[in-house]
């Protein structure tokens, strides 16, 4: 919904001695907001403590309460607590009624409940927030600074320290005006710390992890803490609920999660693919509008033809296009359907901007499709979009998860495979991967690491994404295997649960969600990209009321095995829950991840872009990438149409763009 930037002087930082120094900090804050102005074109607000110690900045995309009263920063009636919020908070009307007698609300903004909840619950206010958010709160009386992020990391929040000042912002580029000089974190690159946890590509820059908050008291160095984490049941505890009860439980909670996300004072639409997740969202929205009289954002016509659905249309021969299936779904619903053609020319022209705004090198062209969709949605006047992200992470939707499902019997479900049957099925099943052409993961992994991961291999599969043609000198950072480094960064409670309590499928879901999902998918295919064209996306599947329920469903009802034909049905319980709201084609369709095309003609526009970006001068300027090996990859990508070579070369090009636009010093 917005963008935020803040400064906190840490203890020992000299207070600016004169008005010129204060003006300089204010000017730096303004320039940091300029870099994310696209996130908030409707209003801009700043506040500072007057002594140079605290600065808060906010750019606003108006979604709920379009009046100036809802502009930020917010402050309470006695002007001693201030907050800036990026995102949407649901159930705000409930808290207005609950806390209205003790807090004087100045607007109808959903985000203002942050101050009311903080006053009522203190630091525990974070547990009462429902939605997608990143926020900063300053309690001037107690000298307490808090930065927090939503449970799944839908909204980004980064921090670093420059000249003994804590900088916190929605995007890392916001640090540049404050004198930040970005340097590659080669150890993070080699150990894939930027793919998992709170690490980033840059030295000294961290993300506030999903479900975490950072806090400084009395201008002291920050502390990082957890207010929420993903949990799963003990794998040995029998499930007492019936299959029908759990199907109904999922349906009820998903419907409610969608319903609360229809609230907006602006037009609202849907991103629709050929998969069951976005199709279910569209189907339930149609049901709510037609059968329950729900408003679609600011539209109360209750006409299904007013539901706008947007779909990426890749080249038909690429094998990546789902627009025909999406169109059949939209026609079945009676919705207004719009395709967004994403040709090679579009991919080439939007490549560099996609990297700059996502701040994430992810080896796929799909993020460019997402950027193109946001642009078209904006041209139709749409400011809010419902999406299908987060379903696979809770309901076992990825092919990669089947291997983990077969590692152990599901003792929680009486009709699951026995140990003997499990061994037989596992031997017959072939490992499959979401990314085409991915090399075999996990070779040479230390046995102690295998034990810490309870023999799951999902982490090895995910970390292959960070496998680049590294320069030989960076091998000095490889004493620790990436899998070992990342599992050692887990909380001890989580490692204990992986070994003793969680089924391997749930372990894999946890590692996927905490790594690839929040650090890559939600950045490259989420908020950072959508907001380039002033579009706020809302993912109902990441509503924690729904996900906490889904996390407690037995593995055998997430991935269901059929002994009659040896097939697996991913997301079984979800399929049954949404069956009344989707076509038979969608209900029966096997999961296909949203991936862009990887095969392009030699000497075409994308090949020419790759050649330009991977010139010797550009690659050498990175410092950590081997130029000769990169040239081989580019050749294999376009001459031999090797999909994995294309993905790795694609990533190198993304690093070059980041290096040039951020002005990153050469690693050495």
The encoded tokens of residue 122 equal 């203190």
- SS3 (DSSP) at 570: strand
- What own/partner pairs with CB < 8 Å and gap ≥ 24 does 27-30 have? 28/177, 28/178, 28/179, 29/5, 29/55, 29/57, 29/177, 30/57
Q: Which of 503, 554, 571 shows the shortest CA–CA distance to 239? A: 554
Phi, psi of 263 (to 5 degrees): -75, 125
Query: Mind telling me the catalytic residues?
Result: 2
The encoded tokens of residue 531 equal 């907001």
Which residues, in sequence order, are CB contacts of 593 under 8 Å at separation 6+? 392, 398, 434
Residue 312 among known ligand-binding residues: yes
Q: Give the CA count within 13 Å in the CB-facing half-sphere of 378.
A: 19
The encoded tokens of residue 367 equal 């993020």
Neighbours of 543 (CB within 10 A): 25
Q: Which of 243, 328, 278 shows the shortest CA–CA distance to 572? A: 243
Question: How far apart are the C-alpha atoms of 590 and 339, rounded to whole Å?
Answer: 22
Task: Return the bridge partners of 160, or none.
Answer: 167
Task: Give the pairing of strands 2-9 and 212-217.
Answer: unpaired
Please report, to the nearest 10 degrees, the dihedral formed by the alpha carbons of residues 403, 409, 410, 416 taken in order. Answer: 100
Question: How far apart are the C-alpha atoms of 441 and 455, rounded to whole Å?
Answer: 13
Question: How far apart are the C-alpha atoms of 162 and 51, rounded to whole Å?
Answer: 18
Phi, psi of 371 (to 5 degrees): -65, -40
The encoded tokens of residue 255 equal 């419907």
Buried b (16+ CB within 10 A) or exposed e, 56-81: bbbbbbbbbbbeeebbbbbbbeeeeb
Neighbours of 446 (CB within 10 A): 12
Residue 425 among known ligand-binding residues: no
Question: How far apart are the C-alpha atoms of 522 and 530, rounded to whole Å?
Answer: 10
Question: How far apart are the C-alpha atoms of 563 and 243, rounded to whole Å?
Answer: 18
The encoded tokens of residue 502 equal 């969680």
Between the two ends of the chain, the Cα-to-Cα distance in Å is: 39
**Residue ranges of the binding site for ATP:** 312
**Residue ranges of the binding site:** 110, 312
**Residue ranges of the binding site for L-glutamine:** 110
């Amino acid at each position: 919904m917005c963008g935020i930037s803040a400064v906190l002087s840490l203890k020992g930082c000299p207070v600016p001695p004169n008005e010129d120094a204060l003006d300089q900090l204010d000017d730096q804050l303004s320039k940091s907001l300029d870099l994310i102005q696209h996130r908030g074109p409707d209003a801009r607000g700043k506040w500072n403590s007057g002594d140079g110690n605290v600065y808060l900045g906010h750019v606003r995309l108006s979604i709920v309460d379009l009046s100036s009263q809802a502009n930020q920063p917010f402050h309470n009636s006695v002007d001693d607590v201030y907050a800036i919020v990026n995102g949407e908070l649901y159930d705000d009307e409930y808290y207005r009624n609950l806390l209205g007698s003790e807090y004087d609300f100045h607007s109808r903004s959903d985000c203002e409940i942050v101050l009311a909840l903080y006053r009522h619950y203190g630091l525990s206010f974070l547990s009462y927030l429902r939605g997608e958010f990143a926020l900063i709160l300053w309690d001037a009386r107690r000298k307490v600074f808090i930065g927090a992020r939503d449970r799944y990391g839908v909204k980004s929040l980064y921090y670093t320290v420059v000249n003994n000042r804590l900088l916190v912002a929605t995007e890392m580029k916001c640090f540049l005006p404050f004198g930040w000089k970005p340097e590659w974190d080669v150890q993070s690159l080699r150990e894939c710390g930027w793919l998992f946890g709170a690490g980033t590509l840059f030295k000294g820059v961290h993300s506030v992890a999903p479900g975490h908050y950072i806090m400084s008291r009395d201008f002291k160095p920050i502390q990082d803490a957890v207010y929420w984490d993903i949990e799963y049941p003990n794998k040995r505890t029998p499930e007492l609920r019936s299959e029908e009860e759990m199907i109904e439980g999922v349906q009820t909670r998903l419907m409610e999660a969608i319903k609360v996300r229809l609230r907006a004072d602006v037009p609202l639409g849907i991103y629709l693919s050929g998969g069951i997740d976005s199709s279910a969202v569209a189907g339930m929205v149609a049901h709510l509008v037609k059968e329950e009289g729900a408003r679609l954002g600011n539209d109360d016509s209750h006409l299904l033809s007013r539901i706008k659905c947007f779909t990426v249309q890749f080249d038909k021969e690429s094998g990546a296009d789902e627009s025909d299936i999406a169109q059949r779904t939209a026609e079945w619903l009676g919705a207004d359907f719009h395709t967004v053609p994403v040709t090679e020319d579009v991919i080439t022209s939007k490549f560099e901007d996609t990297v700059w705004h996502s701040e994430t090198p992810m080896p796929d062209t799909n993020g460019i499709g997402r950027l193109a969709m946001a642009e078209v949605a904006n041209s139709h006047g749409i400011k809010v979009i419902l999406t299908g992200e987060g379903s696979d992470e809770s309901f076992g939707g990825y092919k990669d998860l089947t291997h983990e499902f077969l590692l152990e019997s599901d003792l929680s479900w009486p009709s699951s495979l026995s140990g003997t049957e499990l061994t037989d099925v596992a031997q017959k099943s072939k490992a499959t991967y979401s990314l085409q052409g991915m090399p075999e993961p996990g070779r040479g992994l230390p046995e102690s690491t295998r034990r810490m991961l309870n023999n799951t291999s999902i982490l090895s599969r995910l970390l292959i994404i960070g496998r680049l043609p590294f320069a030989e000198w960076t091998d000095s950072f490889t004493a620790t295997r990436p899998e070992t480094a990342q599992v050692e960064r887990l909380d001890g409670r989580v490692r204990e649960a992986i070994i003793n309590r969680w089924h391997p499928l749930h372990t894999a879901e946890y590692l996927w969600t905490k790594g690839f999902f929040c650090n890559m998918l939600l950045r490259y295919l989420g908020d950072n990209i959508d907001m380039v064209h002033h579009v706020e996306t809302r993912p109902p599947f990441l509503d924690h009321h729904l996900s906490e329920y889904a996390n407690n469903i037995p593995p055998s009802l997430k991935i269901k095995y059929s002994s009659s034909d040896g097939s697996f049905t991913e997301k079984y319980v979800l399929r049954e829950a949404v069956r009344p709201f989707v076509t038979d084609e969608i209900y029966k369709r096997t999961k296909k991840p949203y991936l862009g095309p990887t095969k392009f003609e030699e000497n075409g526009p994308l090949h020419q872009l790759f050649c330009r970006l991977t010139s010797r001068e550009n690659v050498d300027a990175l410092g950590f990438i081997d130029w000769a090996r990169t040239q081989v990859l580019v050749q294999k990508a376009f001459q031999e149409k090797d999909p994995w070579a294309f993905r790795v070369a694609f990533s190198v090009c993304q690093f070059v763009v980041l290096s040039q636009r951020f002005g990153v010093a050469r690693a050495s």
